Structure 1
Amino acid sequence: MIDKLEMFIALAREKHFGRAAESCGVTQPTLSAAIKQLEEQLGVMLVWRGSRYGGLTPEGARVLERARTIVADTRALREEMRAVKQGLSGDLRIAAIPTALAAVSALTQPLTTRHPGLRLTVLSRNSAEILQMLDDLQIDAGITYLDNEPLGRVTTLPLYTEHYNLVIRADDPLATRRALTWAEAAGLALCLLTPDMQNRRIVDRHMAEAGVALRPRLESNSIITLIAHVQSGGWATILPRRSVAPFLDGGGLVALPLTEPEAEHQVGLVAPHREPHTPVLAALLDAARRAQF
């Protein structure tokens, strides 16, 4: 039954029989047969079918909610039993917003030192994707903004506060300034994160508060791309200081605080709102409480 529920969750996530089968590591006929067997066991139709996937029936939507809970509880039980026998081990999957990636090591380094049997996967995703991946059981936890857009029913743990800086080359004439206003930054050749990123929506909002229209000349979903353009000369970007810190000392860049308004936003850990947590997730939350940012 658990395997069938996991395939059903994958189908609801992928909205395509072939992609769902691939994500589960089975053939499409195997997945289709599993969904059909699940429908027969439950006595309801779960999926509208035609020549292709047609969405979940109302009964399917209700089963999906319960399936996520059952699968999550089963995984938690398996982890707990493995921890009893072998100590804390297994896989931990984390997704982080791009601006938080440079901070992830403050969690993962002490966690793996304390629990060497853990294997970690860290993914870069936007805030909406992180919440969806939590719902779909694709990740164990996320690192995202806590105070800017609705999070839904999740457990949250604050990690640090983001402050925004204009990032330019150290030989730029503006580099001697101690700070710039948002309005001044708007007039530069800006390269910024794409609008699907919550960081970009935050930047847009503060520019609007400063009374200026934002027209970036380049957009990317990669911080590395933005930094590379700034390093090449003639460009500027707006990012949290923490996310560009690795490039400041030896990268020939400077970060100038932005004022008027002086903005800050909280970044933290989000995890499924379930008790008890899996042993691996409990260890991550403990590491987060101990971490120094």
Structure 2
Amino acid sequence: MARVLIRQLEYLVALSRERHFARAAAACSVTQPALSAGIRKLEDELRVPIVRRGNRFQGFTPEGERVLRWAHRAVAACDALMSDARSAREGLTGMLRVGMVPTAVDPVGYLCAQMQRHHPRVRLRVRECAPAEVQRGLAGGEFDVGVTYLDTTRSPHEGRVCPLYHERYVVLAQADGCFAGRLHVDWEELDQVPLCVPAHPAPERGVLEETARGVGARLDVRAEVGSVPGMLAYLRHAPGAAIVAASWLEVLSLPDDVVPVPLREPDTVSHVGVVAAPRGPVPDVAEEFLTCARRMTAGAAVPAPRPGTEPGGPVGDPAPGTGVWPPRQGWTAGNP
């Protein structure tokens, strides 16, 4: 029977993350020859080639990709076991690995701060990625929790999903431009305006296109930009408007000559929430993250609003039935 060691699997996981032998070795606090020898030993034990080798790391073989998925799960399970044992002795400890869609950066920052405020021995590793990558990371054991669009993510186990907030979209326009002084913009009006939109594969791009088709609007897309700061830079020097998720308003400072205007009719809403791994026991750190999320949606731990974000402010009134008004400019806490 093959004698596979957890340490060998840790080497493999580090190599998949770093994509470089020397950096993977440094992450594991071993020499590069020791890491390479450990991976070769694993290949010998399993009798399959795992790594494509050359002058540098060239990726994994098809067999290696399958082994890697098991390695992520095994290392995550071992980490959870060690963390649970330590928690029984000295309180909650360990690493919490979070995969999130980029537009959730502010709520995730808040939840991570809550975690470390109450559990200072917990360490955090947060990575931005697309919804499909969040889902793959949860299934493969790379993430303990994901913060992603619930429209595209499902968990088969009750209690492993916490709806977190409603995400809406706004138009960013020049203060003296086509939407000057407007309280809202209808989707049908956008087909008359040169637009800057998120570039593919940004998840919100698909939402925008689907909504425009639903109301019969033809978006006049003049620019596709891969980041919101890049969209703002473009907008300052070009006529027209941009469409972004309203949650970006919390973490970006808009130039004085750019204003946000809510989109209306239809009220485009994406549901974002916390999702735990679909299989196996939920690590204590992941369960606590879910608990923090539930407190936030219940209004028990929502931070005070910033100036200008009261109801009727720049983004609008609270969604009916949420139980709390928007604590932030861009996201409305509460169950979808």
Instruction: Tell me the TM-score range normalised by the shorter chain.
Output: 0.7 to 0.9
CA deviation map 1:170-215 (0-9, x unaligned): 4434133332222322432322222111111111222232334434
Report if aligned partners of 1:191, 1:217 keep a CA contact under 8 Å in 2: yes
1:96–1:144 Cα contact (<8 Å) kept: yes
Tell me, yes or no, if structure 1 residue 86 matches structure 2 residue 90.
yes
Determine the structure 2 residue equivalent to 1:220. 225
Deviates more, 1:117-126 or 1:97-106: 117-126
> Which of 57, 69, 74 is residue 73 of structure 2 equivalent to?
69
Report the Cα distance in structure 1 between the residues aligned to 2:59 and 2:201, rounded to whole angstroms. Answer: 27
Q: Distance in 2 between matches of 1:49 and 1:18?
A: 15
Question: Which amino acid in structure 2 is aligned with residue 70 of structure 1?
Answer: A
CA change 1:241–1:229 in 2 (3 A) is: same
Shift of 1:35: 1.9
Task: Identify unmatched segments of 5+ residues in structure 2.
Answer: 298-332
Question: In the alignment, is residue 118 of structure 1 matched against residue 122 of structure 2?
Answer: yes
What percentage of aligned pairs have identical amino acids? Answer: 34
Would the alpha carbon gap of residues 54 and 79 (structure 1) be closer, same or farther in structure 2, given more than 3 Å must change? closer
**1:30-179 equivalences in 2 (<5 Å):** 30-42=34-46, 44-47=47-50, 51=54, 53=58, 55-58=60-63, 60=64, 62-135=66-139, 137-147=141-151, 149=152, 155-179=160-184
Deviations 1:33-57 (A, max 9, x none): 2122113333x21427565757435
Q: Is the 8 A contact 2:50 2:65 kept in 1?
A: no
Change (3 A) 1:73 1:93: closer
Which residue number in structure 1 is paired with residue 261 of structure 2?
A: 256
Letter of the aligned partner of 2:95 in structure 1?
D
Q: What is the Cα deviation at residue 243 of structure 1?
A: 2.5
Distance 1:61 1:199, change over 3 A: same
How far did residue 138 of structure 1 move?
4.5
Q: Which amino acid aligns with 2:277?
A: P
The number of residues matched between the two structures is 290
1:83 and 1:32 map into 2 onto residues whose CA distance is: 33
Aligned pair in 2 of structure 1 residues 215, 122: CA closer, same or farther (>3 Å)? farther
Unaligned runs of 5+ in 1: none
Higher share in helix: 1
The answer to whether the aligner puts 1:188 opposite 2:163 as a matched pair is: no
Q: Which moved more, 1:232-241 or 1:280-289?
A: 232-241
Corresponding residue number in structure 1 for 2:208? 203
Of structures 1 and 2, the one scoring higher in RCO (CA 8 A, sep 6+) is 1
Conserved? CA contact 2:196–2:224, under 8 Å: yes
Cα distance change, pair 115–11 in 1 and its aligned pair in 2 (3 A)? closer
Per the TM alignment, residue 132 of structure 1 is displaced from its structure 2 partner at its CA by 4.0
TM-score (norm 1): 0.80
| Aligned-residue CA RMSD (Å) | 3.4
Three-state SS of the structure 2 residue aligned to 1:208 is helix
Deviation at 1:3, TM superposition (A): 1.3
Structure 1 position 262, deviation (Å): 3.0
In 1: Cα distance, 2:143 partner to 2:119 partner:
19
Mapped partners of 2:121, 2:14: distance in 1 = 28
- 2:278 corresponds in structure 1 to 273
Q: Is the 8 A contact 2:171 2:261 kept in 1?
A: yes
Counterpart secondary structure, 1:161 = strand
